[in-house]
């Protein structure tokens, strides 16, 4: 029978490689200076979906929400093995917090009516881990968070093992259900070179339009038609396509607001340099005993 899986993926700044220059002087994040990557745990979610497809058949659709540049992670999704890629992009999505984001994404998922929705536990830019459970609530789906192992799939029932940090739990749920997947669940497969070369040219319409601005002779419609016949057109949905209620989208749909952003200044402390010698260390230990830190 097969299972239709939807994987929600996010393009994120690579926070592990943030340097001093990545912060603006006003303390805001200089996103331009940060390499954008496929959110790591979303790769684990995609891998799990691909494993389900390999074993049981069905399809894998990747969805991302973001600016046209976010099409990059959908290209990656395609060359890693997804069948279909959809970019939800709309200026009215701007300034969405996790609640508005989950509302918008849930409208997209609803259109596809999948058996299994998968996403990474959390994204490395915000680490909130909220969007998965919130989408599950909006779609009235069971949520299985922190999935480490898919134990079995049979008919309309899924059994999965959750990693709870201090142990594990095995649960059964009826489908459809939403899973959030953690980094220890699997090792994402290496994309096949041929697939990679083929999907590198996948684009969404906005990207085709942007490229055409410098080459007025390009017929955007014709290019998109051609991409579509080759399976390389990244579909593009806006909030009208989703029939989203605008009061729950973007800034209006976001109860949380930013009050202040500060860059982390690690205060230089009053410090002493201790010689790496027995006498230097003896002196330090003596001081720590005198001020009752130890002893």
Partner 1 sequence: MIEVNKQGEVWIYAEQHKGHLEDTSLELLSKGRQLAVQLKVPLAAVLLGDRISHLCEQLGHYGADKVYLSEHPLLEHYQVTSYAKVIGGLIDRHKPQIMLYGATPCGRDLAPRVASAMKAGLTADCTDLQIGHHEIKKTGEVFENLLLQIRPAFGGNIIATIINYDRWPQMATVREGVMPLPIPDGTRNAKVIKEAVHLSQSDLSLEILSEHLQKKKVNLKASRVIVAGGAGVGSKDNFRLIWDLANCLGGAPGATRAAVDLGFIDRDHQVGQTGTTVRPSLYIAIGISGAIQHQAGMADSQKIIAVNNDPEAPIFNVAHYKIVGDLNQVVPMMIKAIKEKV
According to DSSP, residue 18 is labeled -
Q: Which of 124, 196, 206, 212 binds partner 1 (CB under 8 A)?
A: 124
Q: Which residue has the tokens 């008919």?
A: 155
What's the token pair of residue 167?
Answer: 């142990």
5 and 52 in contact (C-beta within 8 Å)? yes
Identify the three-state secondary structure at position 138: helix
Q: Which residues in the 270-289 window bind partner 1 by CB under 8 A?
A: 270-278, 280-282, 284-286, 288-289
Identify the three-state secondary structure at position 12: strand
Q: Is 262 an interacting residue with respect to partner 1 (CB under 8 A)? A: yes
Q: Which of 56, 133, 149, 175 binds partner 1 (CB under 8 A)?
A: 133
- Which residue's CB is nearer to partner 1, number 54 or number 127? 127
Region near partner 1 per CB under 8 A, out of 8-16, 70-78, 108-116, 215-223: 8-16
Region near partner 1 per CB under 8 A, out of 23-31, 46-54, 63-71, 212-220: 23-31
Build a one-symbol-per-residue string for 86-115: x at contacts with partner 1 by CB under 8 A, - elsewhere. -----------xxx--x-------------
- Which residue's CB is nearer to partner 1, number 213 or number 293? 293
Identify the three-state secondary structure at position 288: helix
Q: Is 38 an interacting residue with respect to partner 1 (CB under 8 A)? A: no
- Which residue's CB is nearer to partner 1, number 81 or number 108? 108
Helix (H) or strand (E) holding 3: strand 3-9
- Which residue's CB is nearer to partner 1, number 1 or number 268? 268
Binding-residue total with partner 1 (CB under 8 A):
79
14 and 34 in contact (C-beta within 8 Å)? yes
Residues 54, 60, 63: CA angle, nearest 5 degrees: 155
- Which residue's CB is nearer to partner 1, number 43 or number 144? 144
Residues 79, 14, 64, 234: is their CA dihedral positive or negative? Answer: negative
Q: Which of 35, 55, 57, 164 binds partner 1 (CB under 8 A)?
A: 164
Phi, psi of 3 (to 5 degrees): -125, 135
For the bound state, the minimum distance from the C-beta of residue 206 to partner 1, rounded and expressed in Å, comes to 26
The residues, any chain, with a CB within 8 Å of residue 289's CB and separated by 6 or more, are 295
Tell me the residue ranges of DSSP E strands in 82-142.
84-88, 116-120
Region near partner 1 per CB under 8 A, out of 55-63, 74-82, 207-215, 249-257: 249-257
Region near partner 1 per CB under 8 A, out of 109-117, 171-179, 187-195, 215-223: 171-179
């Amino acid at each position: 029978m097969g299972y239709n899986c939807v994987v929600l993926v996010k393009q994120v700044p690579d926070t592990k490689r943030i340097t001093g220059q990545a912060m603006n002087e006003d303390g805001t994040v200089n996103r331009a200076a940060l390499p954008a990557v496929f959110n790591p745990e979303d790769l684990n979610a995609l891998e799990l979906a691909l494993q389900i497809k390999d074993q049981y058949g069905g399809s894998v659709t990747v969805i991302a929400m973001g600016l046209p540049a976010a099409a990059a992670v959908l290209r990656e999704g395609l060359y890693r093995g997804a069948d279909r890629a959809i970019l939800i992009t709309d200026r009215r999505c701007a300034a969405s917090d996790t609640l508005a984001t989950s509302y918008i994404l849930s409208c997209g998922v609803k259109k596809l009516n999948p058996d299994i929705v998968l996403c990474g536990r959390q994204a490395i830019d915000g680490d909130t881990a909220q969007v998965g459970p919130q989408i599950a609530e909006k779609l009235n789906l069971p949520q299985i968070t922190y999935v480490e192992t898919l134990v079995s799939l049979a008919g309309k029932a899924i059994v999965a093992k959750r990693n709870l940090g201090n142990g594990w739990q095995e649960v059964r749920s009826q489908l459809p259900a939403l899973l959030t997947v953690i980094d220890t669940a699997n090792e994402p497969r290496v994309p096949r070179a041929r697939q990679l070369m083929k999907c590198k040219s996948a684009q969404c319409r906005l990207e085709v339009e942007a490229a055409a601005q410098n080459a007025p002779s390009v017929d955007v419609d014709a290019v998109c038609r051609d991409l579509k016949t080759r399976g390389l057109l990244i579909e593009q949905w806006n909030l009208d396509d989703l029939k989203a209620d605008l009061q729950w989208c973007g800034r209006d749909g976001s109860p949380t607001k930013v009050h202040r952003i500060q860059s982390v200044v690690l205060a230089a402390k009053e410090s002493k340099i201790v010689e790496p010698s027995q006498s230097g260390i003896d002196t330090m230990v003596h001081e720590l005993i005198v001020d009752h830190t130890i002893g």
